[in-house]
Amino acid sequence: DAKTTQPPSMDCAEGRAANLPCNHSTISGNEYVYWYRQIHSQGPQYIIHGLKNNETNEMASLIITEDRKSSTLILPHATLRDTAVYYCIVITYKYIFGTGTRLKVLA
Amino acid sequence: SQTIHQWPATLVQPVGSPLSLECTVEGTSNPNLYWYRQAAGRGLQLLFYSVGIGQISSEVPQNLSASRPQDRQFILSSKKLLLSDSGFYLCAWIETGDTGELFFGEGSRLTVL
């Protein structure tokens, strides 16, 4: 079973920040949090990952709470091309994806 | 550089027929390999993973089997397809022992009629 829970869907206005939450309350100390996204009919695309500290790359920012039981993926300026299903997963040696959040960016 | 190939890209098969999907990885050795399935409108379901030749772990009971006859080859099979086997099948890999990015193949779309 997936170790994460995410809202099934979210909408975001184009140009605004999209904040996608993820709960991983059973995460253990050495497990990483990874975010992927999947655009229709393609394989998932890696976005970002983190262990304890907040992370930022050219695509997004990842905010992990101090107790590590939840995290938020932030797309700072959402575009129409960011419409996709976003998966938050906790990595052991098995990469188990949940059902993700379907983000719809609205013009 | 590492690449992953998956074929066939599209497959239409009758119920009860056999299935073989193949995945090969280039440019790496001893990767961890994964098979996922995505039914229409659903999330990714982990079917099998392998940490080495001949080592297969099944995540869910089903009508499918997997084999790893060579280090960089991962095969998904069925002796008799069911309608419920329809879906988008994805192969993925990562370096052994790594906790990095999972790399996906292009996917194989199977329709069972």
User: To the nearest whole angstrom, how far is the Cα of B5 from the nearest Cα of chain A?
Assistant: 12
Q: Residues with Cβ < 8 Å from B82, sequence gap 6 or more?
A: B15, B63, B112
Chain B: residues touching A (Cβ < 8 Å): 32, 34, 36, 42-46, 49, 51, 59, 88, 90, 92, 94, 99-102, 104-107, 109
Strand ordering across the sheet containing A55-56: A18-23, A70-75, A61-64, A55-56
User: To the nearest whole angstrom, how far is the Cα of A93 from the nearest Cα of chain B?
Assistant: 7
| Under 8 Å between Cβ of B113 and B16 | no
Q: In residues, how long is chain B?
A: 113
Mean pLDDT of B39-67: 89
Which residues of chain A have a CB within 8 Å of the CB of B92?
Answer: 43, 95
The rounded distance, in Å, linking the Cα atoms of B23 and A88 is: 25
The model's pLDDT over A34-82, given as tens digits with 9 standing for 90+, comes to 999 999 878 899 999 999 989 999 999 999 999 999 999 999 999 999 9
> Identity (one letter) of the amino acid at A7?
P
The model's pLDDT over B81-98, given as tens digits with 9 standing for 90+, comes to 999 999 999 999 987 666
The rounded distance, in Å, linking the Cα atoms of B71 and B103 is: 16
H-helix or E-strand spanning residue A66: none
Alpha helices in chain B (DSSP H): none
> Identity (one letter) of the amino acid at B14?
P
Mean pLDDT of A25-36: 88
| Under 8 Å between Cβ of B25 and B72 | yes
User: Quick one: pLDDT at residue B97?
Assistant: 62
Which residues of chain A have a CB within 8 Å of the CB of B59?
Answer: 94, 96
